[in-house]
Amino acid sequence: LYNLPPVNRKSSAELHALRDKTDRALSALKRLNRTQDEILNDILVYFVSLKLDPDTCRAWKLKTGSESTPSNYDDLINLISSRALALEELSPSVANKSRPTVKANNATLSNQSPGQCTLCKKPHSFNKCPQFLNKSPSQRHELIKNSNRCFNCLGIKHSIQECKSKFKYRTCQKKHHFLLHLDSI
């Protein structure tokens, strides 16, 4: 479908050819015993994955390369969201650049080194913490609430109202991290 030639002029023959080639492509997909929703999923995954930067594309291929089931659009969007949030965490924000530098004592530095999870104190980001991921969405929601983190990016020192991330969870179109999705949010 992606490589079908465009119809460049008003031509009955070209329009018939486009229709016939499209029908053949869809028939080939249907012979794979895929429903229309699954075919749409496959097409979306294909087109969106073409737009990924090289590192995210590599991460997507590593994630899906070992799976025996076809790629899922929701999984791709979750990967994109996770990588975007990770990049936001890694890059210093404009607000942080304008703040005066505060000197920390050695005790503070040893307790909170960069890249250290605030939940288990191990060297990974909070949203990759096994203790966090092993909880149910409602338990994660409660943990975020009790630790005064942002419900959208899981960051600290700001609320969801102050969050600079523009992401909304695709399923419900509400502003919260996909790991916190509840049917009632």
Q: What is the dihedral of CA 61, 62, 67, 73, to 10 degrees?
A: -50
pLDDT of amino acid 91: 64
Q: Are 172 and 178 in contact (CB under 8 A)?
A: no
- Please report, rounded to a whole number, the percentage of residues in the chain having pLDDT higher than 70: 82
Rg (CA), the chain: 22
pLDDT of amino acid 51: 92
Q: What is the mean pLDDT of the chain?
A: 77
Determine if the pTM surpasses 0.85: no
Integer CA distances (angstroms), 108 to 90, 101, 111, in order: 20, 15, 5
The count of other CB atoms within 10 Å of the CB of residue 153 is 22
Pick from 176, 170, 152: which is nearest to 41 by CA?
170
Three-class secondary structure of residue 135 per DSSP: coil
Q: Sketch the domain layout of the chain as residue ranges.
A: 32-90, 126-180
Alpha-carbon distance 134 to 140, whole Å?
9
Q: Mind listing the pLDDT tens digit for each residue in 72-124?
A: 888 888 889 888 888 877 765 433 444 444 444 433 333 333 467 888 888 87
